[in-house]
Amino acid sequence: MTATLPEPVRTLAFLDGAFVPAASGATFESIDPATGTKLADIAACDAEDVDRAVASARTAFESGAWSRKHPSERREVLLKLVALLEENLEDLALTEAIDAGKPITDCREFDLPDTINSIRWYAEAADKLFGKTTPAGDGAVGMIVHEPIGVVGAVLPWNFPLAMLAWKLGPALASGNSVVVKPPELTTLTTLRFAELATEAGLPDGVLNVVPGLGHVTGKALGQHGDVDAISFTGSNEVGREFLRYSAESNLKKVVLELGGKAPQIVTADNADRLELVAEDLAEAAFGNMGQNCTAGSRILVDASILDDFVDALVAATEKAVVGDPLDPATTIGALVEESALHRVARYVDEAVADGATVRTGGEQVLEETGGWFYPPTVVTDVREDMAIAREEIFGPVVVVLPFTDLEDAIRIANDTPYGLAATVWSRDIDDALTAARSVRAGTVAVNGYSEGDITTPFGGYKASGFGGRDNGLEAFAQYTETKTIWITLR
């Protein structure tokens, strides 16, 4: 599984339009998840580098070189970036596959196209963010306008590095902000290359800065910085709480959080004649990206009357997966992102089995001889609702199946979690489908097919799954803009 990164490999911080080493000279290692070997040494930024990045972003913002550029001009620069991303799609996909252990086919066919589409969509939306006038009567004019918030800190997750970068940069840049990106320490390389392409497209120096580094150092410095106006974070609940604290301890910057999930997938009895179709869809929902997805369908709730037949169909669908070299186009399940993830996933399964659960397929590390961190798709049954495997986010290729007695029982189980990011309902009965969709406490509920929606639909969570705003859709602009009232008295 020896892999070679395509040139150029960028490993330095990107500040004010140039690649520079960390001020301290420190670096950290980027590791190939498929082999456990080092890929590169990457600049490890600290508070001094964050200060430089934020100062660069602030200077660029106040200069107006981007913030006061006509929205149609910002659109043209972003569309040039889209063209460059398309030209470099293969190299970016290859880099992402190697750096993250993701199947190359997923990177080529899903991650990169989604990244490009996100930037294109927000480029086209840049000159369509309208204000309003209010019914103020004959003596006044009330105007409501939207202005860029200023300097945005974007802190990215490692599971979809480029796609999540685009979700944040698309609306942030289209609305005129400057951005400091803290890329994921486990999957940094494509973010650095993206920044270079953005500058090549015509983004002014300082508008986009990238500070790679460790979360508890670089991310903390960005979160606590007094000249950052907003933080958009996607990641764990634990770190999300830290960003709320950082805001409170500094300048009360706006914080938007997209956090974890434990997505329920409800299968009603009227699916008895299409269980193979349902099982194929829910296996993809559970195991896509090796289960390293906050919307992964890791809890399948099945009407007790069809439970056994459904489990048989799910096991058959699961065993079609091909676990292997991420660079083999036939691979559907690559490596987990780091060794600790492998141990965490195995621990959840082993503890559940010790507590009476049954592994129907999978359940043990594979391909150990590669040195990589591979765990097969795993189906677990005979699970109680109070088990950790049924309640906590595993972030790996493990799904549990639980029975329910009726729709009310299914909704109760679905909502019995601190999370509320996503859910799926499979039902032919429109009343049942809509009742469940309206009753499940989640930001996105898909019906008759797992989905997160698309770039046009807002994405975010209820309860512990989200806070402060939404990604995607026109709603995402609210993260990165201030709403101003202008009141004009007519004399």
Residues with catalytic function: 258, 294
Name the DSSP class of 303.
Answer: E
Asked if residue 219 lies in contact with residue 155, where contact means CB atoms within 8 angstroms, the answer is yes
Question: Given the structure tokens 């989640």, which residue do they identify?
Answer: 442
The torsion defined by the Cα of 174, 128, 258 and 468, in degrees rounded to 10, comes to 110
> Tokens at residue 447, please?
């019906």
Return all residues near 229 (Cβ < 8 A) that are at least 6 apart: 149, 150, 151, 152, 253, 254
Asked if residue 484 lies in contact with residue 144, where contact means CB atoms within 8 angstroms, the answer is yes
Round to whole Å and give the CA distance between 159 and 395. Answer: 10
Residue 487: exposure state from Cβ atoms within 10 A (0-12, 13-18, ≥19): exposed
Name the DSSP class of 258.
Answer: E
Which one-letter amino acid corresponds to residue 450? Answer: Y
Per-residue burial over 173-210, b if 16 or more Cβ lie within 10 Å, else e, is bbbbbbbbbbbbbbbbbbbbbbbbbbbebebbbbbbbb
> Tokens at residue 273, please?
């004649």
